Amino acid sequence: MSASSLLDRGVAAIASAIRTGEARAADLVEEALARVDAGERELHCFQTVTADEARRAAEAVDAAVGRGEDPGPLAGVPIALKDNMCTRGTVTTCSSKILENWIPPYDGTVVARLRSAGALIVGKTNLDEFAMGSSTENSAFGPTRNPWDTSRVPGGSSGGSSAAVAAGYVPVSFGSDTGGSIRQPASLCGVVGIKPTYGRVSRYGLIAFASSLDQIGSFGVTVADATTAFEAIAGHDPHDSTSINLPAPSLAATLGEGVDGLRVGLIEDFLDQVAPACAAASSAAAEALESSGAKCESVSIPEMLLGLPAYYIIAPAEASSNLARYDGVRYGLRVDGPDAEAMNGRTRAAGFGPEVRRRIMIGTYALSAGYYDAYYGQAQKARTLTIRAFDSAYERFDVLLAPTTPSPAFKFGEKTKNPIDMYLSDLCTIPSNLSGHPAVSVPFALDENGLPVGVQVLAPALGESVMLRVAAVLEAAAPGDCRGPVLGPRSSTHA
């Protein structure tokens, strides 16, 4: 079996072939690195390619197999990590000048679990600076391009991770989702993206944006791949006080159980807010589930539309607090000045890009005396209304269905002049972050330009099992040409 063909066959096939000695991890990682080398000048998925580290990890996996040991559930699987996860000995930038040369002294919990699972980390992926954005155009080191059409964005903030899977560099990757930063780029790149229940995956070692919203999840070419990757990182972690005290869920074995008798609600409030192709894909997905035995009906949940304005007060407020640590004193960039106040101001002005500065200012204003109740307090009330609306809906339905994004992938520069237009990219994904519930985006259609369109399955807290069963049925019903990998860019027309 050639390493090249194995790389495209998925996580289970890779791990099985490595364990049995049918293939070598060392050969597989060379194939993955060759693909990265061939495409990176065009796509820029990675901030750092960790070739030497990946080769050493592959040698260790092959040696373990040679001793008759099981290297783990991701044995020999090449993966990529969003560059906001602390990785010992590897520069971790958050795509920001303020952390351009910072090397963490420890592995985050997710990184440590992936190493223990036998995964081969081939690099750290590009993102919107500090995960603030929906297009990866806010990276301080240049944007990532969409493998389907390089004149278009891959989404964000986890655009590098989604594009790396869509380009066939790696079968799975990992990102973080604060307001849709896994699901939105998954939809735009034609891959599967899972945002777990808040607390299912440890945030220890994830560089914080908005702590009550951030969650690490997985990308995969298929639902099965993304699910297996999620299983490897989930489970309780005493280092994270918000971690749910439950073992990692076992989900891959139940993916084929189908949807017979499940109650599915199609959230109609989003359908007139999104492009016709996105609305049509969601309606077609509901019909596909009905044909597979589910009971589908439309449901109005108007509180879902409160999510966007509430999020863009809550998240900047938390970012204002979290990013106060970048002061030029403890670590990261330092720009000297005549006194501490000037040094701090110069450091932050030089180190943070315009979108990060904008959100810090919004958040600081919302938390300031005289405005706290009017803005932050009201946003938290809207968050509570959203949670209650979800709770009510889940009394009637097992899962909910919605568009993932308001549009397919848009062109570079199309939304950068109007931040509100960019923020609207998160309209359909934000409610699940506010509630802490799981959600998954599945490729389901192509638009008139041949670009992928995802649909989103939403479930109550800890409802990943039924959510992913629904996702697997949708995947089987979708046309095969609406998902990656795209081996070689479809277009080289740059914006």
d(CA 122, CA 343): 37
Please provide the distance, in angstroms rounded to a whole number, between the alpha carbons at the two ends of the chain: 40
CA-CA distance, 367 to 376, in Å (whole number)? 6
CB 50 within 8 A of CB 78: no
Topology adopted by domain 3-301+392-482: Amidase signature (AS) enzymes (3.90.1300)
| Regions in the chain scoring below 50 on pLDDT | 1-4, 489-495
pLDDT for 422: 97
Active-site residue set: 82, 157, 181
Q: How much is the pLDDT for 1?
A: 40
Q: What is the DSSP letter of 89?
A: T
Domain-by-domain residue ranges, the chain? 3-301+392-482, 309-377
Cα–Cα distance measured from residue 298 to residue 337, given in angstroms and rounded to the nearest whole number = 60
pLDDT score of 494: 37
Q: Kindly give, in sequence order, each residue whose CB lies less than 8 Å from that of residue 319, ignoring residues fewer than 6 positions away.
A: 130, 132, 209, 210, 356, 359, 360, 363
Q: Are 230 and 175 in contact, with CB atoms under 8 Å apart?
A: no
- What is the reported pLDDT for 486? 87
pLDDT of residue 253: 94
Distance CA 188, CA 171 (A): 17
- pLDDT score at 488: 56
